[in-house]
Amino acid sequence: MLQPNNSPTILILDLDGVLITTPPWKQDMIATDGYSEFNKICVQQLNRLLKAHLFEIWLSSSRRKSQSLSFFKQLFSNRGVHTPLTGMLPISQDHQSRKQEIEFFLEQKSPVHFLIIDDDKSLNGLAPQLKSQLILTSYLKGFDEEKRIEALKKLSLSL
């Protein structure tokens, strides 16, 4: 299911509550590389989505504020995510909330197709045309099969 002109869909991807599903009341499980473990089932579901569609992945996680793009590219590779990161949403003092960062990013990029995968409930406040492309995950479940199917349905409707 590739886009008609093979142009990639922008995928705005969070980590906590999407690929990292450690309950907030517990300390993160740390992998052998010294960083928080990714939920293997969530990575598997993300890879199934990435195999079905052409994406540019842009990291929106607040964790991007403490690590470099090269760090996250290597981390995603080490964790078996099959599509490399393209970039990270810009960090701006003027756009401090996730909602504002995403709105600003999409305004600047003006993508034809995009998808947002995040657990941040404040994103319910996005404008309808942006919210229609939101896959809102549950912190403890992350990007599971149900959310992957929801993403595929949104992608086929937006093409």
DSSP conformation letters of 114-140: EEEEE--GGGGGS-HHHHTTEEE-BTT
The CB-side HSE value for 145 (13 A sphere, CA atoms) comes to: 0
Question: How does DSSP classify residue 66?
Answer: S
Query: Under DSSP, is residue 20 helix (H, G, I), strand (E, B) or coil?
Result: strand
* pLDDT per residue as tens, the chain (159 positions): 444 456 899 999 999 999 999 988 899 999 988 999 999 999 999 999 999 999 999 999 999 999 999 999 999 999 999 999 999 999 877 757 999 999 999 999 999 999 999 999 999 999 999 999 999 999 999 999 999 999 999 998 654
146 C-beta neighbours (distance < 10 Å), count: 13
Q: Are 98 and 91 in contact (CB under 8 A)?
A: no
92 C-beta neighbours (distance < 10 Å), count: 11
